[in-house]
Every structure is written in structure tokens, then in C-alpha cells.
């Protein structure tokens, strides 16, 4: 376990099993269609990579980068699109892949933005959901784990661009993120 973690919340094995389960549900739900999987950079990259390798229907991938955190441990609520999609989504089945849904403010903004582009369908897949912190009415269509209100890192989730490479998801020690 990394020395900056208080505890491991989800092991590599638990995550892998859940990713395969989610991919199976997605493949079944979209059977006979192709989907455009939109990863939210940077946190969703590792989850997205593992997810699409387990999806059995045709998949295209694109990315969008948004920011509402910066180096803070709390979302500012002000969302900026840092990198937009490269592909046109009109008439396509779009699955937005997110690492964690916390307040829901960023995802609500993003879904509203993408909806104006007239996709055939627009759904959300998240690895982690933290509903106790929700400030916007956002409910993931596919959710890996519902977690308590803890500051988690690993498997793509970061704090100040660190810890994304951890294979498990752990709770960051408060003294680490309260330094800023």
C-alpha cells in the first residue's frame, strides 16, 4: 500500500471484476448497435481502456477534457472544456465514461452540452458514485461502486496529478490534501 493512503477501498481484483461486469451489461444493452465511448480526461482513461477491451460490440473512442477542480480537493462548480470531441456525435449512441461522480456539477454541464449535439442516445458509465455529495440531479446509467464520502485516489483518480497509476483505489490521508 502506498504510504500516502490511509486504507485500500477497492482492490485491483474487485475493480477488474466490476469492469468486466459493466462491459457485459453495456454489450448486452447495445447489442446490434455500435457505440461511441467518450472518456472524460484524464481520470477516466484507465477505466475506459479496461472497459472497452471487455465490450463485445463495435466501439469508437473519443475524449473530452473538462476541469472543475484544478489542484483543489473540492470542485469549484465552474466547468471549463479544455479539449472538445474530435468526432461528430449526432445520431450516434454515446456512452460517457467517468471515473467518479461526486457533486455531479461537471457531469450535468457536460451532458447538457453533449445533448445539444443530438446524439441518438446519451448514457453515463462511472466506476465510482458518491451520491451523498450530489448537488446536481445526475444518476449514472452504469455504476461500478457506490462509495462513502472519502477522498479517493488510484486507478486513474488523482490528487494534484499524483496517484493515477495505483492499481487499487485507496483513501488518501487527510494530511496530504489539506496541505494546499
Catalytic residues: 102
Residue 60, strand partner residues:
36
The counts of H helices and E strands in the chain are 4, 9
Distance CA(88)–CA(92), nearest Å, equals: 8
Q: How many beta carbons lie within 10 A of that of residue 103, not counting itself?
A: 17
Distance CA(120)–CA(152), nearest Å, equals: 34
Residue 22, strand partner residues:
none
Amino acid at each position: 500500500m502506498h504510504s500516502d493512503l490511509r486504507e485500500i477501498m477497492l482492490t485491483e481484483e474487485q475493480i477488474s471484476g466490476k469492469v468486466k461486469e459493466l462491459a457485459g451489461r453495456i454489450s448486452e444493452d447495445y447489442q446490434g448497435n455500435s457505440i461511441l465511448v467518450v472518456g472524460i480526461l484524464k481520470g477516466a482513461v484507465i477505466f475506459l481502456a479496461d472497459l472497452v477491451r471487455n465490450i463485445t460490440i463495435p466501439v469508437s473512442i473519443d475524449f473530452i477534457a473538462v476541469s472543475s477542480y484544478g489542484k483543489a480537493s473540492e470542485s469549484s462548480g465552474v466547468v471549463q472544456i479544455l479539449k472538445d470531441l474530435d468526432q461528430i456525435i449526432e445520431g450516434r449512441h454515446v456512452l460517457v465514461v467517468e471515473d467518479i461522480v461526486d457533486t455531479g456539477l461537471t457531469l450535468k454541464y457536460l451532458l447538457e452540452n453533449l445533448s445539444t449535439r443530438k446524439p441518438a442516445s446519451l448514457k453515463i458509465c462511472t466506476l465510482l458514485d458518491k451520491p451523498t455529495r450530489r448537488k446536481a440531479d445526475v444518476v449514472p446509467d452504469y455504476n461500478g461502486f457506490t462509495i462513502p464520502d472519502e477522498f479517493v485516489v488510484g486507478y486513474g483518480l488523482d490528487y494534484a496529478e499524483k496517484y493515477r497509476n495505483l492499481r487499487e483505489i485507496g483513501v488518501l490521508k487527510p494530511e496530504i490534501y489539506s496541505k494546499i
